[in-house]
Amino acid sequence: MNALFSRMDDRERRTLERLAAAVVLSAALFFVLAVGQRTRVFEARDTLAELRAGARRADASQAEAKAEWLRWQQARSDLDSLRGKSFYDGASVYQSLRRDLQQIFARGGMDVPDIGYRYSDIAKVPIKKVVVTFGYSGSYADLKRFLGMVEKFPKFLAVEKIDFQKTDTETGLLNLRLTLAGYYEN
């Protein structure tokens, strides 16, 4: 290789030195740029990982929000169903409640007693109730069957109060005052 350099004149050596300097400079520039690009690649990879994690969180959040929205839709559907089936109609609450009570008394084999009606509001909600009070005379087993029918009745009809007035220990006959409440929307 020295023999090759010795045959070169000064101009050729300077050109070769310039080419060598350009190659070294190009290599150094390439190295500097490659290191910078490598750093940017790692930063981009980290950013991509963060973005993917954020996308997974957003997908999970969206799925959770959608599930909650579906639960609220089901709750609204249930409420609409309850309004149609379980609440009494405000316009005809008296007639409907009286008919339902007659039906319950008939199923229980009881005579329809004198019934007193009273209306009342429930605070902070658009629901009102009709309070029904009547006397009952019969055995404990009949009372239990009657209360079971009231409990299983599809409308919002609830036992509010039972006042035991007299209990005959010899015959087992109960005399009491029952208070029921039927609910309707205003």
Q: How confident is the model at residue 5 (pLDDT cuts 50, 70, 90)?
A: low
pLDDT at residue 68, as a whole number? 95
pLDDT at residue 170, as a whole number? 81
pLDDT digits (tens, 9 = 90+) for 35-58: 878 888 888 899 999 999 999 999
Kindly state the average pLDDT of the residues 123-135.
Answer: 81
- Domain locations along the chain: 2-82, 93-185
Classify residue 130 by burial, with Cβ atoms within 10 Å: 0-12, 13-18, 19+: buried
pLDDT digits (tens, 9 = 90+) for 59-114: 999 999 999 999 999 988 887 777 777 777 777 777 888 888 888 888 877 777 77
Helix axes 93-107, 140-152, angle to 10 degrees: 140
End-to-end CA distance of the chain: 108
DSSP 186: -
pLDDT at residue 104, as a whole number? 85
pLDDT at residue 7, as a whole number? 76
Q: Which CATH number fits domain 93-185: 3.30.70.60, 3.30.565.10, 3.40.50.12280, 3.30.360.10?
A: 3.30.70.60
pLDDT at residue 186, as a whole number? 66
